[in-house]
Amino acid sequence: MKLHPLFDESDYLTDALLARVSAGEPIEIGDEFEQIDLNFMLTRGNPYALLLRVQGESMSAEIRDGDWVMLDRSRSPQPNDIILARLAGGYTLKRHKPHGHRGRNGLYLVPANEVFQPRRVTEDDSFEIIGVVTHIIHQAV
């Protein structure tokens, strides 16, 4: 996996309305714009942030094929966090589910799509947690 650094600031500013839009009853919105840096908004300057494009359907109830996820490689996962894990030489996004008291009875990688089965991680597995998903950017359908 080739990593590309993300920077605290960039030269790529995007127009944003200084208004809120209703997801309920229609409301008036203003016409005043500001410039925002989406890179900084998503990373908050975190040098351990990584943006990844998702391929596959195992997380499709939450993350669809073609979506983007922002990963924090410095964050320790908590139960139920979505993580990027290296397992048996490959990489996968799954929900982090320790089993038993403090995970002493193992760890499960749980898909969001019920078609797929959870995967128990054992001591015999080549396994590493790469980071925790902090943002999901859905592609328009």
Residue 94 catalytic? yes
End-to-end distance of the chain based on CA atoms, in angstroms?
A: 28
- In whole angstroms, give the CA distance from residue 23 to residue 2: 38
**Sole residue written with tokens 């080739």:** 2
Catalytic residue among 2, 10, 22, 58: 58
Closest CA to 130 of 100, 96, 107, 102: 96
Burial of 69 (0-12, 13-18, 19+ CB in 10 A): buried
**Whether 111 contacts 58, CB under 8 Å:** yes
Residue 58 catalytic? yes
- Helix spans in 1-124 (H): 38-43
Catalytic residue among 76, 94, 97, 126: 94
Which are the catalytic amino acids? 58, 94
